[in-house]
Amino acid sequence: MPIVSGVLNVNKPAGPTSFDIVRLVRKGTGAKKAGHAGTLDPMASGVLLVLLGQAVRISEYLMDLPKTYRATVRLGFATETYDAEGNPTGPERAVEVMRGEVESALQVFAGEIEQTPPAYSAVKVDGQPAYRLARKGAAVALRSRLARIYAIRLLEFESPEVVIEVECGKGTYIRSLAHDLGQALGCGGHLVALDRTRVGQFSVDSAVAPTELVGAFETGDWREMVLPLDCGLTELPAITLHIEDEKDIRHGQAVRIDEERLTSAAVEDGRLHRAYAEDGGLVAVVVYEGATGLWRPRKVFGSD
């Protein structure tokens, strides 16, 4: 049986960890290499991209894709973990805010913002995940970091719950956003539900549930659910290689590429591209080097 490489768009339910889903897929497919592109907390649901075979090597590109979340925030009190699984940090307060106040507060978070990750997170502190130190009762002081919020919208407001949609970049903590929203409104708040509805072009509407996967493993039909490896690279422009250039790229050598083989007229220095063989097979991810006019391989893929 040939090795399968590609992307499984899985609709993770709330409850299992992201690794639980990867383990399910690895067992069902018999894949030696399997991973995921972007962890979802156990309480979260939605799009989890599980990578098989050579697709594991494109995880960094998938993790850079913009993400969309639907989040439910409970106002009235904050928690240690910034979500419903943590202990309250103080008594519950009356929520005396109007819809307009919530909408105004949300707009403060649009754009590039400074955000402090939760103490109960996987961010490393002196070589250890912060959550391990927090569970031991240690004081955890994490540095703020830049987060990119492309759009944030109020979907529903029925006090004390707020439902928002967030389009954001890599490394954004929705739990921190929920906490910070509660602080901005002066009543505290924490995350009670989270659904990742989109990662790049991968939508939850086209994702497969774990129960469907199990059935497909039993019938052997699961291969039809695996998307080609380059489905995770569609944000990158494409080029087609001459057969000699393909050989050089596969051997790790830089090449010069004719302009007619480019999909865009202007090529930027440092821009990544998908490079295909003349038969349509994906060969590599390559980068253009403006100073020399050469294309250098970043990731070279074998033929499964």
CA 227 to chain centroid, in Å, comes to 17
Q: For 107-125, what is each residue's pLDDT tens digit? A: 999 999 999 877 666 666 6
In the chain, the percentage of residues whose pLDDT exceeds 70 is: 88
pLDDT at 153 over 90: yes
**Residue 258 pLDDT level (bands cut at 50, 70, 90):** confident
pLDDT of residue 261: 64
pLDDT at 130 over 90: no
Matching CATH topology for 6-64+202-232 and 236-300? no
**Residue 265 pLDDT level (bands cut at 50, 70, 90):** low
Q: Which of 76-90, 143-157, 204-218, 246-260 has the lowest mean pLDDT?
A: 246-260
In degrees, to the nearest 5, what angle opens at C-alpha 56 toward C-alphas 34 and 40? 70
**Chosen CATH of 67-199 out of 3.30.2350.10, 3.40.50.150, 1.10.150.20, 3.30.365.10:** 3.30.2350.10
**Residue 196 pLDDT level (bands cut at 50, 70, 90):** very high
**Residue 207 pLDDT level (bands cut at 50, 70, 90):** very high
User: Which residue out of 20, 41, 83, 304 is catalytically annotated?
Assistant: 41
The tokens describing 260, both together, are: 């007619």
**Could you give phi then psi for residue 261, rounded to 5 degrees?**
-95, 5
pLDDT at 3 over 90: no
Alpha helices in 108-173 (DSSP H): 130-135
* One-letter amino acid of 229: L
In degrees, to the nearest 5, what angle opens at C-alpha 140 toward C-alphas 137 and 142? 160
**Integer Cα distance of 47 and 33 in angstroms:** 20
b vs e for 73-90, b when ≥16 Cβ sit within 10 Å of the residue's Cβ?
bbbbbbbebbbeebeeee
User: Per DSSP, what are the bridge partners of residue 67?
Assistant: 168, 199
**Integer Cα distance of 284 and 180 in angstroms:** 42
**Chosen CATH of 236-300 out of 2.40.10.10, 3.40.50.300, 2.30.130.10, 2.160.10.10:** 2.30.130.10
Q: For 40-52, what is each residue's pLDDT tens digit? A: 999 999 999 999 9
**Integer Cα distance of 34 and 45 in angstroms:** 20
Fold of 6-64+202-232: Pseudouridine synthase (3.30.2350)
Q: For 170-189, what is each residue's pLDDT tens digit? A: 989 999 999 999 999 999 99
Q: pTM, whole model, 2 decimals?
A: 0.90
pLDDT of residue 274: 93
> Domain locations in the chain?
6-64+202-232, 67-199, 236-300
Report the length, in residues, of the chain.
304
Closest Cα partner for 71 from 181, 147, 184? 181
* One-letter amino acid of 16: P
pLDDT of residue 222: 95
DSSP class of 207: -
pLDDT of residue 267: 79
Told to judge if 41 belongs to the known catalytic residues of this protein, a careful annotator would answer: yes
pLDDT of residue 144: 78
